[in-house]
Structure 1
Amino acid sequence: MESHPSFQGLSEILEKYPRAAGAMFQAYNDVVYAQQWADVEVIELPDCKRGAIKGRKPDTDDVLHVVPCTLAETLSISWLQSALSHLLNPPQVYLAITSEDASIVYYKISQGIVKPPV
């Protein structure tokens, strides 16, 4: 992990929250290298004991937020509310759920009841 080009920009958050380091590293690299987001920043979520990712998909102006976690973690509504409040209550957050086989699934979490697009 230390030899990867993205490690330099992530090292502080990875060292501060080692239990969430694998999920953060995997989600960050997916967003930056595979999805090629622009203006990517790492945001600290101290109450959630991890970092989050903020950026924009290619050719869009919408700022999106990703909160990485692992498939083995137990999450709660209060945990999600804490993440949302630290991110200044965006309309939605993507929960990036990573697994040991390097797969990653994104779940869109919105506040309240949101009708899916038709």
Structure 2
Amino acid sequence: MEQHPSYTELSALVPKYPRSAGALFQTYNDLKLAQQWTDLEVVDLTSCSRGALKGRRPKVEAVLCVIPCSLAESLSIAWLHDAFGELGSPPHIYLAINTEDSSIVYYKISPGIVKPPV
């Protein structure tokens, strides 16, 4: 991981949160290289003991927040509440669920009860 060009962007948080380092590394590279997000920045979520990502999808002006995590992790409502607060209460966040086979599934999470669009 340390030899990869993207490691410099993540080097402050990878040693600080080793349990979530793989998910952060994998998600960062997916967003930056495969999905071509712009203005991608790494954010320290101390309350959740991990790094998160903020950036823009191509042709989208809004800044989106992504929290990488592993499929094996247990998450709680309190954990999500803390994440929303630390990210500045965005309208929604994306959980990037990473699996052992390098797949990533993104789930859009909104605070409270939100009716899906028709």
TM range (shorter): over 0.9
CA displacement at 1:60 relative to structure 2: 1.1
Aligned residues with identical type, % of pairs: 62
Whether 1:47 aligns to 2:47 is yes
| CA distance, structure 2, for counterparts of residue 66 and residue 76 of structure 1 | 17
Whether 2:109 is the aligned partner of 1:109: answer: yes
Alignment of 1:79-98 (within 5 A): 79-98=79-98
The 1-side partners of 2:97 and 2:117 are apart by 23
Structure 2 unmatched runs, 5+: none
Find the counterpart in structure 2 of residue 65 from structure 1: 65
Q: Could you tell me how far 1:3 is from its partner in structure 2?
A: 1.2
Task: Tell me how many residue pairs correspond in the alignment.
Answer: 118
C-alpha separation in 2, matches of 1:18 and 1:99: 16
Question: 1:75 maps to which residue?
Answer: 75
Which consecutive unaligned segments of at least 5 residues does structure 1 have?
none
Deviation at 1:33, TM superposition (A): 0.5
CA distance in 1, matches of 2:113, 2:82: 18
The two structures have a TM-score, normalised by structure 2, of 0.98
Structure having the larger proportion of residues in helix: 1
Q: Deviations over 1:6-40 (max 9, x none)?
A: 00110111111000000000111111001000100
CA shift at 1:47, angstroms?
Answer: 1.0
Amino acid at match of 2:41: E
Return the alpha-carbon distance in structure 2 between the equivalents of residues 39 and 48 of structure 1.
23
Q: CA RMSD in A?
A: 0.6
Aligned partner letter, 2:46:
P
SS at match of 2:68: strand
